[in-house]
Structure 1
């Protein structure tokens, strides 16, 4: 049913919980998993650039993203899951739209991602990448909260 599962990953507990669910599904469905990590290289470029070494910060974001992907790929491969990965760089774009675009390009059948489940003022201030994905995608999305779930 779901032979191509896209999973956006970051360093959060919710991302780890989503990856655990995706690995269960991938094993059951004999699916290929594509992991993506989105980095916004513009996040430091617009402010405080006279105080910060922006190129160094951007290089650090890339390095950290690549390391995260390598660790997650190794984890899934150790479980016998076929896995691909991509570091996706954006410049001030919407992360949610980028995830949806990547899922379309890769022709994903399912998107599995973590959500913090914030509500009220926190949601209003921080927004929700998961909500943005839900608003723009045409494929099924499995949202996973980290509550009492084992980390991957």
Structure 2
């Protein structure tokens, strides 16, 4: 049913839970999994840049993101799954839009991602990438919570 599954990854527990679900689905469907990690290179390019080595910080973001992708990809490849990785760089843009654009460009059939499921003031203050993706995605989206955030 789903032969192309896109999975955004980061260092969170919810991302790990989503990856576990994507592994299961990919194994059952013999699907290709594309792991993506988004980095915002603009986050250090503001007025404090006179005190920071911005190019070094941006290089560190790239290196950390690629290390994360390679590590997660190896987990899936060890199961015999076909995996692609992509480090998405944005410059102060919206992460949700970047993920949806990547899903469309890659022709993903399913997007699997983690969500904290926060509500109330926490949601208002932090926002939600998952909610943003749900609002604009044309691709089906499967949201996965960690057990402690379960229904």
Q: TM-score, normalised by structure 2?
A: 0.96
Q: Match for residue 80 of structure 1?
A: 80
Number of residue pairs matched by the alignment: 149
Instruction: Show structure 1 runs of 5+ residues with no match.
Output: none
Give matches, 1:37-116, under 5 Å: 37-116=37-116
Deviation of 1:47 after TM superposition, in Å, equals: 3.5
Aligned mates of 1:7, 1:113 — CA distance in 2: 6
The CA RMSD measured in Å over matched residues stands at 1.1
1:23 aligns with 2:23: yes
Q: Which runs of 4+ in 1 moved over 2 A?
A: none
Offset from partner CA, 1:106-127 (integer Å, 9 cap, x none): 0000000000111111111110
SS at match of 1:42: helix
Task: Name the CA distance, whole Å, in 2 between partners of 1:148 and 1:128.
Answer: 18
Partner of 1:11: 11
Asked whether 1:135 is paired with 2:115, we answer: no
The unaligned stretches of length 5 or more in structure 2 are none
Could you say what secondary structure the match of 1:57 adopts?
A: helix
* 1:30-86 alpha-carbon deviations (Å, 9 max, x no partner): 000000000000011023112211111101000000000000110000011100000
By percentage of residues, which structure has more helix? 2
CA distance in structure 1 between the aligned counterparts of 2:67 and 2:13, rounded to whole angstroms: 17
SS at match of 1:35: strand
Cα drift, residue 148 of structure 1: 4.8
Partner of 2:44: helix, strand, or coil?
coil
CA deviation after TM superposition for structure 1 residue 2, in Å: 0.3
